[in-house]
Amino acid sequence: MPEAKAYAVIAIVCLILGGVVGYYIGKAAAPAPPPTTTPAPTTPPPTEAPPVELVVASLWGGKEEENFLKCLEAFTQETGISVKHIHLTEEELRAFPAQFKAGKSIADVILLPWPATIREWGEAGFLMDVSGLIDTTKFPPSYIELVKVGDKIYAAPFKMWSKPGFWYRKSFFEAHGLTPPTTWEEFLTLLETLKGIPGIEAPIASGDGVGWPLSDTAEAFIIARAGPEWQLKLIEGEAKFTESPVRDAFEDLRSLLAAGYFSEPDEWTSQIDKLWAGKYGIYFMGNWMTTMPQVKDINDLGFFPFPETRGMVAGGDWAVIPVFTEHPDEAKQLLQYLAGPKAQEIMVKQGGFLATNLDVPAEAYSPADKAVVDAMAQVEMVVPDLDDAVGGEFQTTFWDQLKRLWVDPREETLEDVLQILDDVLKSTLEG
């Protein structure tokens, strides 16, 4: 090979080797790309549970519901748990077992006035046993026993009510020199005196529009003139209306009707207006009289028990928890609150509410409500409402027959009325 050609070949080879070497040297000197990393999985922030809203169902409406909402508002302020109240009819309240059988309940807490229903629902497995939630020594023993089956207590006492006697306007009595009677003879004298006062349409107001105002009055005669034990015997089917002394008590009532001492039956709340206007002298009504808007001045409202009575109709409202509630812990808190003195004192101070919890102070009551409490403490026996306890066809028949007697108080009418009541009482209890 010529010398010049050999030099050319060597030069080309050097250039090639230099390029290859330079490439790898440059590649080695270049910074390495950052390592590829897989991002760690992110955990979403925890989702806050929606706020709990309890639902309470009851028969309470009007002023009673307004007062109850204030009580529930105090519970919400104390616990942060909101509560919604739903006002139901009696038919709607009694229909809850249909929901229970489907494994649900629209209410977390229910207020019920029927101890027999509470026991029935408890035995069917629909209600929680609240034995461990309340101190039973804080309540009248009868209000615990009424909702107890075996060693299980299915409700907490909340409200006590009574149908204690006659209401009147203090200023009216004072203006006419009248005093509340304490004996049957004084009662008859009062009625005759009232009948002679100008402007008086009748001494005693008669409520209507619904059946219970007349039946409440008739039961007061049974309890006072026959005895509270006879009210119980009628409820149990162990006595008859046509036998003495029940018949005698109705004869006392009939004679007063025939003498014109009772007014014509009229819508019961409008009769309060007429009492206040001086058209009537007295009115037999339950302790809820103190909450009625027709009472213009609670301090002018007076009360006296049925003269010489040894008993009184009383009942209450109990709080229960369906086992199907979705908020059992919060429902238990509300039940304990309602059974406690704080909630009941709130209700007492608003009037027309008698506490079941014995720790509610006496000074929380208005003078009118305190008079009822004192009267209840004086009687020998507190008994259930007759037509409520028997219920069914007897209740509506009782109401209808009393309306008949009120407008036609002849002796033969009474005989027929009492026989009808005997027959329907028997068939209702047997059915």
pLDDT tens-digit map of 140-174: 888 898 899 999 999 999 999 999 999 999 999 99
pLDDT higher than threshold 70 for residue 357: yes
Instruction: Determine what percent of the chain is predicted with pLDDT higher than 90.
Output: 76
Q: Are 326 and 109 in contact (CB under 8 A)?
A: no
Residues 166-175: b if buried by 16+ CB within 10 A, e if exposed: bbbbbebbee
Question: How many helices (DSSP H) and strands (DSSP E) are in the chain?
Answer: 18, 15
The fold for domain 53-162+315-376 equals D-Maltodextrin-Binding Protein; domain 2 (3.40.190)
pLDDT higher than threshold 60 for residue 7: no
Higher-confidence residue of 274 and 37: namely 274
List, for residues 174-219, the tens digit of each pLDDT value. 999 999 999 999 999 999 999 999 999 999 999 998 889 999 999 9
Please list, in sequence order, all residues whose beta carbon lies within 8 angstroms of the beta carbon of residue 339, skipping any fewer than 6 positions away: 133, 134, 138, 139, 156, 157, 158, 319, 356, 357
Locate the domains of the chain by residue range: 53-162+315-376, 165-285+391-430
pLDDT-derived band at 41 (thresholds 50, 70, 90) equals low
pLDDT higher than threshold 60 for residue 20: no
pLDDT at 211: 86
Task: Tell the residue number behind the tokens 């009662």, with chain if given.
Answer: 187
Whole-structure pTM value: 0.75
Biggest CA–CA distance in the chain, Å, is 164
Mean pLDDT of the chain: 90
Q: Tell me the CB-side half-sphere exposure of residue 378, using CA atoms within 13 A.
A: 15
pLDDT-derived band at 359 (thresholds 50, 70, 90) equals very high
Same fold, 53-162+315-376 and 165-285+391-430: yes
CATH class of the region 165-285+391-430: alpha beta
Other C-beta atoms lying within 10 Å of the C-beta of residue 429:
14
